[in-house]
A and B are shown apart, each in its own frame.
Chain A
C-alpha cells in the first residue's frame, strides 16, 4: 500500500530549485545513455548519496517482482515532485512501459511525460509500445495510449502522432474520439506547421454527434483555428441541441465559442422597434427579406438563447457565468434580466468566485441599472467581507443609485463610513461624492453630510472628505462660500497633506468669494511653510500667486516671502514652480509678454473633474474572461465582433439530412 511510503526529508526551497541536471548528467555520461547538452562536470562527490540511491532504484526497477518495481516508481515520482533530477533512470523506467500492471503503467506515464523531451532518443524506445496499445481492443487502453503519446514532446514522432490522431478520430468509441480532439491541441503546440492537416481532423470531429466529443473538439477549434467560423455553420444547430447534455467544462467552452459565432452571423436584436421579436416558426421561409423593416430574430439565434437558458440552473458557477455573458452579449435587451437572479445567487459562492462575479456585475450595472436594482440589498457590505469584495460592492451600489433609492443607499453608506477598515471608509466617501454628482437632487444633502464628516475624529475620514468636497464644489461653485469658510476654520487641525493641499487649492480658486479669509490662511502658511509636505508647499505657492493677482495690496509682501522660501527649497519641483510663478506674476522688463496673461492663465475657469466608475470602459472586453477581470488584453483574447448590418446567408446552417441526435 502506498501508506508506507513516506515523503522523504523536509524540503528546503534551495534544494527544490537547485538545478542538479548538470552534475547528474555527468554521472550519466559514463553509462549507457547520451549526455545532455548542459554537462558541466561539476562537483561529482556532492551528489554521490543521490547517485547511490539511484543505483538502488535502478536495481529495483530491473527486478522481476512487480511490488519492488512499483515501490521504486513511487520513489521516482517522489523525486520529481521534489524537483530532483531523475532523468538518469530513464532507460530503466522506460522498460516498464509495457507492464501489465495498470498502477505501474500510470506511474511510468507520469515519468515519461516529464522527461521524454530531455531524452528524446530513449523516449523513442517506448513509442512502439504505444503504437501497439493504440490497436488494443479495449477503448480505454487505446485512449490512454493516445493521451500519453501526444503528451510526449518529441518532434521526431510528429508524423506518428498525426497518424494516430487521424485514426483515433475515426474510432468507434466516442471516448477515444474525445481523446483525439485533445491530442490535436498538443500536437499543434508542438508543431504549428501541422495546422492545415489538423484543421481537417477538427472539421471531421465537429460533425460528430456524441456529447462526449463536442466539448473537446470545440476546445481544439478555439485553440487551433478560432477564426475559421465557416467550419461551425453546418454544426451550429447540432451544437445548440447537444449543449444541455455536454459535460460542464465542455459547456463553458462551447457557449463562449457560440457567443462569438452569433455576433458574426445574426443582426442586432437591440434595435428600438423590437417589441415583437418572438420566435416565429414560419420565418424560415422569409429568407432574403432581411432588409424588411420589422426586426425578426433569426430562428437560429432564438434556438441558442432557448437552449442555454436551462443551464442557468447548473451547479457549476463557470457555466452560469458563461450563460450570463451570452445573454448579455446576444439577447434582446428586455430578456437579459433573466440572468440576474442566477448571478446574484453566485454571490453566495466562494470568495474568489464572488470577486469575479461582482466585477462582471459592476460592468453590467453601469449600462443596465434596472437589472440589479431589485437585488440592491444583496450588495450590502458584510463586516466579514474582504476589502476587495467590499469595494466592489460599493462600486455596484453607487452604480445602482437613482432618485428613488438614494436615501436608502446613503443611509447604508453612513454605516460604512464608520468602518474600521480605513481603506474601505475612504472608498465610501468617494462613492458618496459620485452619488452627489450623478443625482442632482441629493447633491446638497451629500455635501452637508460630508461637511459633518469634517468634524469626524478619524483623520483619514476627514482628509478624504476634504478631497471629495473639493471635487464637488468644483462642479457647482456658486453659493458655497459657507463651506469654504468652514474648511478654513478646520484647516489648523487637519494634518493629512492631501487634505491640506486641497483646502489651499479651494481657497485660491475661490479667493474672491472669501476675500477676508484667504489672506489670513496665506499668512498662517507663511509661518509653517518650511515644515510642510511638498504637495502642500506647491499649493501654497499657487495660493500666493492667485492672491497676488486679485488682492495684491494685502498679500504682496506675504507672496514675496513665500516665493523667497520656495526659491531655496530642497525640492527642485518647488524651486522650479517658484521660479515660474515669480516670472509670471511679478512684472519686470524681460517678461512683459506673459505677464499680461497671468490672470487668464492662473484664474482660468477649470473644467470640473468627472467622477465616474472605474468599470466604465471595461465593457470593451467580453464578460467573464480573464481580460475583463484584469482590464488588460490577455494573450489569445478573441474580440467580439459588432453585429453585422445585414445578416450573412442563413442557409449555410441548413443541414440536408436531419437525424435524431444520439450518442
Chain B
C-alpha cells in the first residue's frame, strides 16, 4: 500500500512528508540491524530526492504520472504549483492511489480553500492531523469531508463535550457515515444544481465526430432529522417503464422528451442495489453541499452553438479567416461568457479583425485571435472575419491548423435532462414534502468544444 506521502512546492522543496512504511527508498545495507532502525528517516530522504531530481526537475517533459525509480514507484498529481506524490514499493492498485490523491486534494480544499504553498504552510498542523486520519499505515480510510470535520480538532473544533464525542462515535461507527443525528433547521430548504459540460469535436464540414455531455447533480440540503429523499428525472428507462404501466401522466402532459443516460455514478449515500433493481434514486442526504450523481449522455445532445470556419490562403503571406457562429436554442434564453479562440500560425506578423458583435483581439503570446461576446440570445448568428499577414519563412513546416475552440455558459441542460421531482420524507419530525422549499437551476458550460478547420 502507500508507503509515504510527500507534498512539494514548485521548486521541489518538501512542504509535508509523512512516511507510513519504512521500506520506501531503503537500500539494503548489511550494517543495519534488521527491522527497527532509526535511520530509515534518512532513507526516506533518498526517495524524496529521487522524485525531485527525476520528475520535478526533469529535463524533458514527464511522460507518465507513475514514475518508477530504483523499484520505488512515485504516483504524482499536480495542483497549480504544488506536487502531491504518493510513494510505494508494493504492488498497489494504481487507480486507487490516484483516487486517494484526488480525495486528499478535495479534503484539503474543503478545509482551507485553494491548494497553494502559502495555504499548506499555514495549515501544516492540520494536514498532519488529516494524514493521520485518512491514511492508516498506508491504507486509505474514511475520507468523507463531512464526517472528518467532526473529529479533526484543528480549525476551531476543539475540546468536545461528552455529547459531541458520542455523536462522533455514532458517525464513525454507524452505518450512515455521512450524516449525524439531531440536525435541525427552522426552514427546510434544498437547492439542486444541474451542471453540465458539453464536449464536441466537429469536422470542418459540420459533421459531428464526437459529442458527449458530462453532467453533475449537485445538491445543497438543509433538512432536519434523517430525511429519506427520492430523486426523479426524465430518464428514458424509467419513463418507458411507467408508460407501460399506464401512469404516463407526468411524461405525457409536459410533452418533454426523455433522455437516454449512458451511465451514471452516485454519491455513496444512494442505495446502489435499489438503483440496480428498480432504477430509482433514493438516499438519505448528507448535510450541506455534496455531489449526488454524475452522468453522461451521448445521444440527442442539443449543441448550443455551431461554428462554421472558412480559411483561405491567399498567397504565401496572407490568410483570410471567416468564422460564423450560430446559436441554437430558444430565443428567450441568453448565453453568456462566449469566447471563440481562433488559432493563428506561428509566423503571424499582423492581424486585422472585424466582428459584428463583441470584441476581438489578436493575442500574439497565445497565437490566437480571441473573440469575446458578453451575451447572445438563441437563434441568432454572428460572424468575425480576419486577415492574417504572415512573415515569409523558409521553414518548410506547414501550419497544422489546430481546431477552433469555444467557451460559453447557457441556462439550460444541453443533454435535455429535467428534474421531475425530489421528494422528501421524514416520518419522525413534523414536516412534510410540501413544507420543503426546493430550488432547481440548470447550467450548461462548454467542455472541450472544438471545430476543426
Contact = CB atoms under 8 A, between A and B. Distances in A.
B91 A637 contact: yes
A388 B155 contact: no
Interface in A374-426: 377-378, 380, 382-384, 387-388, 412, 415, 418-420
Interface string A290-318: 00000000000000000001110111111
Contact of B294 (A153, A310, A315): A315
Nearest to B293: A315
Given A103-B158, A174-B173, A345 B14 contact: no
Contacts of B77: 350, 352
B124 A77 contact: yes
B272 A244 contact: yes
Nearest to A109: B132
Interface string A1-42: 111011100011100110100000000000000001000000
Nearest to B63: A388
Contacts of B201: 380, 382
A393 to B, nearest CB: 12
Contacts of B154: 2, 103
B132 A313 contact: no
B71 interface: yes
A7 B124 contact: yes
B159 interface: yes
B430 interface: no
B141 interface: yes
Interface in B1-49: 1, 11-17, 21-23, 35-36, 38, 42, 45, 48-49
B64 A189 contact: no
Interface stretch (A584-592, A627-635, A651-659): A627-635
B309 to A, nearest CB: 15
Contact of B400 (A103, A419, A637): A419
Nearest to A425: B400
Main secondary structure of the interface of B (DSSP, over half): mixed
B243 to A, nearest CB: 24
B442 interface: no
A636 interface: yes
Contact of B122 (A3, A317, A350): A3
B319 interface: no
A635 B93 contact: no
A81 interface: yes
Interface stretch (B233-241, B257-265, B372-380): B257-265
B183 interface: no
A235 interface: no
Interface residues of A, number: 114
A388 B448 contact: no
A643 B448 CA distance: 45
A223 to B, nearest CB: 8
Contact of B89 (A154, A342, A627, A635): A635
A448 to B, nearest CB: 20
A6 B122 contact: yes
A418 B400 contact: yes
A629 B402 contact: no
A154 B38 CA distance: 10
Given A11-B13, A634-B90, A350 B98 contact: yes
B452 A110 contact: no
A628 B89 CA distance: 14
A168 interface: no
B450 interface: yes
B137 A635 contact: no
A102 B158 contact: yes
Contacts of B128: 77, 81, 110
Contact of B168 (A140, A189, A318, A626): A140
Contacts of A1: 156
A185 B151 CA distance: 24
Given A83-B14, A345-B262, A663-B175, A382 B450 contact: yes
B214 A352 contact: no
B210 A378 contact: yes
A269 interface: no
A143 to B, nearest CB: 9
A139 B68 contact: no
A185 B14 CA distance: 28
A502 to B, nearest CB: 21
16 contacts: A1-B156, A103-B154, A107-B129, A173-B173, A212-B173, A223-B1, A244-B272, A249-B96, A310-B273, A311-B272, A318-B99, A353-B98, A355-B66, A387-B63, A418-B401, A457-B398
Complex A-B, nearest 6 residue pairs according to Cβ-Cβ distance, in ascending order: A7-B121, A318-B96, A634-B91, A103-B153, A352-B65, A321-B95
Interface of B: 1, 11-17, 21-23, 35-36, 38, 42, 45, 48-49, 61, 63-66, 68, 71, 73, 75-77, 88-96, 98-102, 121-126, 128-129, 132, 136-137, 139-142, 151, 153-156, 158-160, 165, 168-169, 172-173, 175, 177, 201, 209-210, 214, 262-268, 272-273, 275-276, 291, 294, 296, 396-398, 400-403, 448, 450, 452
